[in-house]
Structure 1
């Protein structure tokens, strides 16, 4: 290469770099980065955030910086979305660019390094896994096949409440719903149940609570490199390893039991379906036991606490709104159905009951912040430039209470859904308790089937009152931190059997 050729090459490279620089500069001018609170060096805004009330803090910040604002979380960029309009831009118009999940240490470990559906990166494997699970696990036919399990367990709950009512004993609905939802999902997923009381039940629920705590635990090393030693000093690594080992052994015991050729086959539950899919090689990759365990983890965590929390909030809202309680009971009891127990097909036409559930999920959705996403590439949202690898928080709690969208948003008013086609299936971005887009929760139908059956029979079989000496203003709406937002104080009500 001659000196002239080399000079021309260097000039071409410099000119190309200048073009790239100018293009980026024009892009930045035309589409600036979203505004946000100023942070400190290295830690950014981490010191300003409380993990237990992030949805409230994000809501307050959105009133200052707008429905799309930015945060600096250590070395990681993040944005927060607080309006249906911006959510639509993300979930509908740019869903592919926002389809990743951020890798967070606790979630990555407990999901077998992202081998599940909820926390795994967007990839061919994820698409294959989700599609197969939707067809073989979450199909309407499969969900209907578990109706006998739901019916049996709800009948058992009704009997227990009847015993309480006969003895004038107050019913702790928080504990009852927690036990019921975990029993239903354990029978559907694993083919096993835990009794309502006893050592095994207590141990299992203790494990589940610790598992959920570690899923949402704050690891400094997620945001500031080379600080894993801090997490170790705080004991997080040892707690994480311990609960991972306990659940790994639990999943393996379930798998071994269902692989036993001498096992008496009763009903085909989810673990059986997954083992059959593994045997038939229906995936584009070699499905391992770790993949199966990761999917079982998704189902256990996603279905148990969210269902029980929603039921508690529904009954809390109804006891605080006696007119709504009376109206939904009139709908259920005035139907042509005259029996001791309502089956799933009996409740399909109860429009006001469905409106009550929608309104509960609007005001008291169990996941106030949707599972965070991460951008796969640079994109423009709401007139702002969003870089790749940016963590995305969608504040569904704020969206569901947006006065620009909802009339009297703080009021529990199910009637708003009787004259509206808005639903929670991912097409209406004003109501997104299950998310939206390609990463919407695939188990919506399973969750709704349980919610409708349980709530309908509670309201059909009993009249509900506050314990003696309490008035409705004594019932609070404080939330506990966690992967699902439970009511802080247990909901205890008195049931009266209909004569």
Structure 2
């Protein structure tokens, strides 16, 4: 009878539960008292298990909460058993910058940049040597010469934007949803610059299916990162094969659009020309080009539209700043034709407004994680063990009172030498990152944002609609923002 009892399902269940409890307690004890990161401060539950951190990410408020954690625990916070968050300007250089003495750069954290491991690598998640080669190939499309050749392409879509807005705002007292119009514009531009044809968003005044997929994939990608980070990476592969996943549909459309671009058979001053030549030479596969094309679509459109949306919200909710910028734009040009990618470079207050918008509303509000390399490294003068996940969280550092005077105030003057903000540490803000893997499209992004914003301000008087006054306060943030409608009352300027 005794052996029978010992092997009963109940006993086996009790044994399983006991072993699980013992493992959990043992793991918790190790993470608190024995782990190499045990000396770093942070919330107790976050230091014990990663579930608390990922719960905040799933809820969409992790970047905001990180600001609170740094205010409470200081410049370095342990946010999972094996992850540290940093809030200090020097950390940008220590984590993302070039390292002295030939030491290798900190590698990107694989479970974030490549939550699903059965898709080709692009410039964002490529290994170091592969990234250097890709960057050299893509840099041609972002050169000064290419930007000059691309200006007629970009300008034609900005012209169309202005024309469509003039049509839509007539008698529209409720306002125009500028989130949509800015998204449509930047997607049409990047569609032409990457694939040789627009998505037709501005022409049809509606979303192309691909644009919707990119917007929907923002939250899906965050959940993929959660699953992968919790150690269930194989599940992400199964999810990727589901027909209803926006990420899967997005990959399909990238392939179709890329095939159309290759079939054009003509040289264009776009981003993919050099990669297509590599394919023709047998040095790069179709899927490798597709992976980079998918990256360009998001990085070259969604982030630009996000920043411009944020800038319009911040300007229309700060009428005195909008009035000063309006005066600068309208006294600098006599007509629309004078507003070009080059001429907008002289608008100093506009650049300050864009920089302040990047600070207050960074398109990527989270941290972009790296891992401490083999043998570990020093960050902010303290040794960080090998394999530790590390990042600077942009929203948190951009709103920290130690680096910014009145961090919750929209003040473009802080970037113009105003004595009130002389103590600001502007190097705390790095929206395009730093080091060898900083954003290759920085100059293009600034030029495009200046051009679009200048043309809008030159042609329209603007006022925030009442139903959008809480636009920023109601948003969720994953790796990117999940933006609600931004209704702005637009009144054409009569000349």
Is 1:253–2:256 an aligned residue pair?
yes
SS at match of 2:197: coil
Is 1:72–2:80 an aligned residue pair?
yes
Is 1:485–2:481 an aligned residue pair?
yes
Where does 1:51-450 land on structure 2 (aligned, <5 Å)?
Answer: 51=57, 52-72=60-80, 77-92=82-97, 94=99, 98-104=105-111, 107-109=114-116, 112-113=119-120, 115-121=121-127, 123-134=128-139, 136-168=140-172, 170-196=175-201, 201-219=207-225, 221-225=227-231, 228=234, 236-239=239-242, 242-260=245-263, 263=264, 265=266, 267-280=268-281, 286-335=283-332, 337-339=334-336, 342-377=339-374, 378-419=376-417, 429-450=427-448
Q: Is the 8 A contact 1:372 1:391 kept in 2?
A: yes
Give CA-to-partner distance per residue, 1:219-263, whole Å, 9 cap, x none.
Answer: 55523446745x68xx84444895454334323323333333xx4
Superposed displacement of residue 318, structure 1: 0.8
- The 10-residue stretch of structure 1 (293-302 or 46-55) with the greater mean CA deviation from structure 2: 46-55
- Tell me, in whole angstroms, the C-alpha distance in 1 between the residues paired with 2:346 and 2:477: 35
Q: Is the 8 A contact 2:54 2:226 kept in 1?
A: no
What is the TM-score of this pair, normalised by structure 2?
Answer: 0.81
- Tell me, in whole angstroms, the C-alpha distance in 2 between the residues paired with 1:472 and 1:209: 20
- The 10-residue stretch of structure 1 (48-57 or 442-451) with the greater mean CA deviation from structure 2: 48-57
Q: Is the 8 A contact 1:319 1:472 kept in 2?
A: no
- Cα distance change, pair 111–394 in 1 and its aligned pair in 2 (3 A): farther
- Cα distance change, pair 137–434 in 1 and its aligned pair in 2 (3 A): same
SS at match of 2:366: coil
Task: Provide structure 2 residue ranges, at least 5 long, that are not aligned to the other structure.
Answer: 1-33, 419-424
Superposed displacement of residue 35, structure 1: 2.4
- Tell me, in whole angstroms, the C-alpha distance in 1 between the residues paired with 2:487 and 2:460: 16
- Tell me, in whole angstroms, the C-alpha distance in 2 between the residues paired with 1:55 and 1:242: 25
- Cα distance change, pair 168–118 in 1 and its aligned pair in 2 (3 A): same
SS at match of 1:314: helix
- Tell me, in whole angstroms, the C-alpha distance in 1 between the residues paired with 2:364 and 2:437: 15
- Cα distance change, pair 335–298 in 1 and its aligned pair in 2 (3 A): same
- The 10-residue stretch of structure 1 (64-73 or 193-202) with the greater mean CA deviation from structure 2: 193-202
Q: Is the 8 A contact 1:97 1:375 kept in 2?
A: no
- Tell me, in whole angstroms, the C-alpha distance in 1 between the residues paired with 2:73 and 2:239: 34
Give CA-to-partner distance per residue, 1:48-107, whole Å, 9 cap, x none.
Answer: 74101111222212222211122335xxx1110112133333334748655311122783
- Cα distance change, pair 40–392 in 1 and its aligned pair in 2 (3 A): closer
What is the TM-score of this pair, normalised by structure 1?
Answer: 0.80
- Tell me, in whole angstroms, the C-alpha distance in 2 between the residues paired with 1:92 and 1:271: 27
- The 10-residue stretch of structure 1 (164-173 or 399-408) with the greater mean CA deviation from structure 2: 164-173
Give CA-to-partner distance per residue, 1:117-143, whole Å, 9 cap, x none.
Answer: 11223x322222223322x22222222
- Cα distance change, pair 341–204 in 1 and its aligned pair in 2 (3 A): farther
- Tell me, in whole angstroms, the C-alpha distance in 1 between the residues paired with 2:98 and 2:354: 29
- The 10-residue stretch of structure 1 (138-147 or 28-37) with the greater mean CA deviation from structure 2: 28-37
Task: Provide structure 1 residue ranges, at least 5 long, that are not aligned to the other structure.
Answer: 1-27, 421-426
- Tell me, in whole angstroms, the C-alpha distance in 2 between the residues paired with 1:241 and 1:127: 35
Give CA-to-partner distance per residue, 1:129-179, whole Å, 9 cap, x none.
Answer: 223322x22222222221111100011110111113334453211111111
- Cα distance change, pair 195–341 in 1 and its aligned pair in 2 (3 A): farther
- Cα distance change, pair 249–176 in 1 and its aligned pair in 2 (3 A): same
Aligned residues: 449
- Tell me, in whole angstroms, the C-alpha distance in 1 between the residues paired with 2:232 and 2:96: 34
- Tell me, in whole angstroms, the C-alpha distance in 1 between the residues paired with 2:467 and 2:199: 35
